[in-house]
Amino acid sequence: MKMAGRSPLVSQMRSWLRSGLGFRGQTTLWLSLIIGALVGLVIVAFILLTGRLAARMYPPGGSPWLRIFVPTLGALISGLLLARSFPDARGSGIPQTKFALFVGEGFISLRTVLGKFLCCSTSLASGIALGREGPSVHIGAGIASVLARRFNLSPEQVKAMIPVGCSAALAAAFNTPIAAVLFSLEEILGDMHAPVLGAVVISSATSWMILHLILGDEPLFHVPAYQLRNPVELLIYAFLGIVGGVASALFVKLLLDLRLAFRKLPRRTLWLQPAVGGLFVGLLAWFAPEVLGVGYDYVERVLGGDLAIRTVAVLALLKILATATCYSSGNAGGIFGPSLFIGAMVGGTVGGIAHQLFPNVTAEPGAYALIGMGTAFAGIVRTPLTSVIMIFEMTRDYSIIVPLMISNLISFYISYKLQPQPIYEALAHQDGVVLPEGEARAHLSRTRLSDIVEPSASVDGAATVSELHAMFEASRHRVMPVTLQGRLIGLLHRSVLAAAPPNATAADLVGSAAPYVHADQPLSLALERMGEHQVDILPVVSRADVTQMTGLITLSSVLRGYRVDIALPDSSEAL
Amino acid sequence: MRSGLLLGVLAIMAALFSFDKFLATVEHNEINREADSLRSEGERLLATGQASASLVPLQRAYALVRTDRRSELSFARALAAAGKVLEADARLRHLLEIEPNDGAANLAMARLQVRRSNWSDAESFYHRAEYGHWKDTGQVNQVRQELVRFLADRGEQKALLSELLILEDESTHTLETQKQLAHLFLVAGSPARAAKMYRTILKREPDDTQSYVGLADTQLAAGNYPAALSSLSEARRLRPDDTAIVRQIGIATRLVALDPTPRRLRSKQKYERSLLVLRLIAADLAQCAARLPADIEVRELLALANAAEKSPPQVTNEMSESILAVAQELWKTRSEKCVGSKPPDTLLSLLMEKISQ
């Protein structure tokens, strides 16, 4: 009787809960929805908190001293927190997210998520010239990682949930659900055909709905209707693409160089370094308060054509300096928002000058500021497709697409030529992490070396020439990996051994630049490397540490991976 | 284990939702308060004629709450007052896209079109404002009065008359608005209605000099010159030192003496008056023609007027009618040819209007 009185929905829910939310596919679907909703709620709280706190820090008519004191103090507090309690919460969050995805098996700790929220709220509210979108992506990815682990998903599934969290975060932070999906695929995964596409879309849509439920249908920027006055304008947009590309490359180079300089400072000053960025932005803000914080208010004013050209040009320059210094000094915050600010100011300047010179054929400067936002995003973040869709979603105006594409692609090309390495890869490199490049990532969905990798085996660096002769005689391979105290130091060629002095050790005989592969790379890459270096064995190393050997790839194992049945010496014979 | 975890996550989500809602409400209220304060400040500056200074707070108020139509309207008004006509136009069009029947936005747009000399658009927006949504019905009356003034300035007599008829039906009119209405009826080409209103006023206020003068104007327009003279005499009795009234009396007296249309006139009198009217008009046309390039039509008409002056052995009413027909022809030519020159004499205008009827 009791059962008969229970609603079918409740019964079904209980059944799902008892069975652990059904089978695996269903779990992913439910988890995507949960991640989307939870990330959306957290990011909305993050936006509201940072916005409100910043408004209270700088009340209208407040003392100009506040503009120096508050960012310095804020950076000092967040610097202490970052150095003592949350070291992984430093910076933007995009490289850290990619690190977690490609190196850390999708692991982001709850502590990092909380630290990111706390440190970014502190620094952004105090007026540090960084953005909230990058940290949001890290927070979103972190929440996805934590939830996936708590739901006992496999490591592969945990990794798959990272882009799901990223897209949910970006959809809420920018109010651009399609661009969020594209960004997760284009930048985070580097694969537009990733199998997680469905889950990424679901989480993005869920998060966007949460945003609308709480904050309503307010776009990030209110922009006047776009209009292409004359086809000649496309030439000016192309010129804007060039200027945007140069400005983007300058910004990236400055940021990377400054970051290198800060990294050279003694480690004990790590807690103090963010305060340098805070003080610098405070000093700039004494003269130009517009550089403080994310600065979206001023972006909107430029879009509305309410700022003078000279002011707009100066702000572009000051924001480049302020953001580069704040980021490189180790403050918590991203570069998405500042990219849009810089782009809007560069676009506003180009548009303002063009409108003064050719008033009859050009639109208002606001239209150029809008396109400029896309050019800077494409030039700095290097996601041209995401930037086009993002600006399109912000304006909801189809007529903007063509000039936007022209400017973005030119900016992307110019920036690529001036600074070939994308900013996030360059930042990871500075941290000693080798993230997979776009071309390599395209092969990730196919057969990877991890499928054929053999157990690690190597020659000790202390082995003598006579011992090495014996080893090579027992092997038909041309080379052997050499390790010293458990770390890979290079490859030893059979040909080198023939001319070696009798008292030399293996460590003395290895070449300086040894080829290696990573487990997530495709088979074809291993073959190419073997051919390029004329070797038949390649060490497999960790992306986090290229001296840490995790396995071995032999020519025969690669051929077996391709199902080629040819008798070749295997690894056991080799070593 | 998973069920407990899921319930925990759902609980966290519920708590976060409440927290977000709380934060959003706090932000919403704070922003609205700030926007209201800025809008009040901007409207105060605008009301005191500081249009440029009002732009900053009004723009900020609008930027804070984009959905607040009051802020956008005030901002648009400030833009218009500061001479930024195109921007004001764009803002008002945006407002009217959202709510096409917004009375205040339509009125602001009508005023903007007047500034831009887009008369037909202005009239159209005035009408939309008149029939648009208003919180206070008293504002509709003000809009109608503004529209009436606009139509009177533009000389749109038919449209003006239809608006005046609606205004006349309003139950509450002060003495002043009644006099304005009566005057506007005269402008709208309805002297009978104007006269009726003045008489109603004079019944209530028999010593109102202005109403006597107004009544005289309606009587002059209707061609009832003796009655006009009588009304003006009453006005002069009440205000003997008023030179304008004296001048009007002079005109009315001359009109009484010149008018060739009364039935009581004998043929000779009618002929003499007709001839006098013809001379006056011919002189007026000759004066105007002297400033114009030689015109054959004018020359022929003036010759015709000269020929009509030759007195016949016996005058008849038909002859007077012929002279008046020539006078009308001259008057018509004068109206066409002397558009840019001096305006026609009031006396002749009134007289010819009556003759043409």
The percentage of residues in chain A with a pLDDT greater than 70, rounded to a whole number, is: 90
Q: What are phi and psi of A95, to 5 degrees?
A: -60, -35
List the single best residue of A150, A218, A222, A297 to mutate versus B (max B Cβ within 10 A).
A150
Write down the pLDDT at residue A23. 40
Provide mean pLDDT across the span B51-75.
88
Question: What H or E segment, with its residue span, contains residue B248?
Answer: helix B243-258
The DSSP secondary structure of B107-129, one letter per residue, reads HHHHHHHHHTT-HHHHHHHHHHH
B-proximal residues of A, 183-242, CB under 8 Å: 214-215, 218, 222, 224
How far, in whole angstroms, is CA A173 from its chain's centroid? Answer: 15
A177-181, A458-462, B210-214: range with lowest mean pLDDT: A458-462
Residue pLDDT, tens place only, B87-109? 899 889 989 998 899 999 999 99
Q: Could you report the per-residue pLDDT of A422-460, keeping only the tens digit for each?
A: 898 888 888 877 777 655 555 544 668 888 888 878 888
pLDDT on residue A571: 43
Q: Is A114 near chain B, with CB under 8 Å?
A: no
pLDDT of residue A321: 95
Find the angle CA(B321)-CA(B326)-CA(B329) to the nearest 5 degrees: 125
Mapped onto helix, strand or coil, the DSSP state of residue B312 is coil
Tokens coding A341: 């600010």
Q: Taking a C-beta distance cutoff of 8 angstroms, is the pair A82, A285 a contact?
A: no
Note the pLDDT tens digit of each residue in B272-287.
888 888 888 888 877 7
Closest CA to A175 of A227, A125, A133: A133
The pTM for the full model equals: 0.69
Identity of the highest mean pLDDT range in A206-220, A403-417, B247-261: A403-417
Contact B90 A224 (CB under 8 A): yes
Residue B66: which of A21, A41, A222 has the nearest Cβ? A222
For B130-180, what is each residue's pLDDT tens digit? 888 888 777 888 888 888 888 888 888 888 888 888 877 775 677 788 888
**What Cα–Cα distance (Å) separates residue A78 from each residue in A256, A364, B95?**
21, 41, 45
Interchain CB contact of B19 with A (< 8 Å): yes
d(CA A518, CA A524): 12
Inspect the interface and report whether the beta carbons of A18 and B26 lie closer than 8 Å.
Answer: no
Tens-place pLDDT, residues A250-303:
999 999 999 999 999 988 888 899 999 999 999 999 888 888 888 888 898 888
3-state secondary structure (DSSP) of residue B321: helix
What does the alpha-carbon distance between residue A365 and residue A349 come to, in Å, rounded to a whole number?
7
Window from A51-65, A408-422, B95-109 with minimum mean pLDDT: A51-65
Determine whether the interchain pair B9/A38 forms a contact, defined as Cβ–Cβ distance below 8 Å. yes
Comparison of pLDDT for B102 and A58, the residue scoring more: B102
Residues from chain B that touch A147, judged by Cβ atoms under 8 A, are: 9
**Mean pLDDT in residue range B190-202:** 88
Report pLDDT digits (tens) over B226-240.
888 889 898 888 888
CB proximity under 8 Å: A 344-403 to B: none
CA distances from A508 to A482, A488, A494, A540, A574 (A): 10, 13, 14, 22, 21
Instruction: Give the orientation angle of helix B85-98 with respect to helix B103-115, to 10 degrees.
Output: 150
Q: How far off is chain A from B43, nearest CA to CA, in Å?
A: 19
Chain B closest CA to A83's CA: distance in Å? Answer: 28
Query: Taking every pair of C-alpha atoms in chain A, what is the biggest distance, in angstroms?
Result: 92
Our measurement of the distance from residue A336's CA atom to the centroid of its chain's CA atoms, rounded to an integer in Å, reads: 10
Instruction: Measure in Å the smallest separation between the Cα of B20 and chain A Cα atoms.
Output: 5
Q: Region A74-86: what's the mean pLDDT?
A: 90
A549 phi and psi, to 5 degrees?
-85, 125
Contact check, Cβ <8 Å, B27/A18: no
CB distance A306–B16 less than 8 Å?
no
For residue A254, give both structure tokens.
């400055």
Within 42-71 of B, beta carbons closer than 8 Å to A belong to 59, 63, 66
What is the C-alpha to C-alpha distance for residues A24 and A33, in angstroms, rounded to an integer? 14
Q: Residue A574's pLDDT band (boundaries 50, 70, 90)?
A: very low
Measured CA to CA in angstroms, residue B171 lies from A191, A370, B143, B144, B205 at distances of 76, 56, 17, 15, 19
Burial class (CB in 10 A: 0-12, 13-18, 19+), A440: middle
Residue A48 to residue B90, Cβ atoms within 8 A: no
At A568 the pLDDT is 55
A77 contacts A122 by C-beta, under 8 angstroms: yes
> pLDDT-derived band of residue A193, with 50, 70 and 90 as boundaries?
low
- Higher-confidence residue of A406 and A225: namely A406
In DSSP terms, A490 is beta-bridged to A482
Per-residue pLDDT of B279-314, as tens digits, reads: 888 888 777 777 766 667 777 777 776 766 676 667
Q: How confident is the model at residue A169 (pLDDT cuts 50, 70, 90)?
A: very high
At B266 the pLDDT is 82
Q: How confident is the model at residue B341 (pLDDT cuts 50, 70, 90)?
A: low
Tell me the pLDDT tens digit for each residue of B263-272.
Answer: 787 878 888 8
**Under an 8 A CB cutoff, do A21 and B6 touch?**
yes
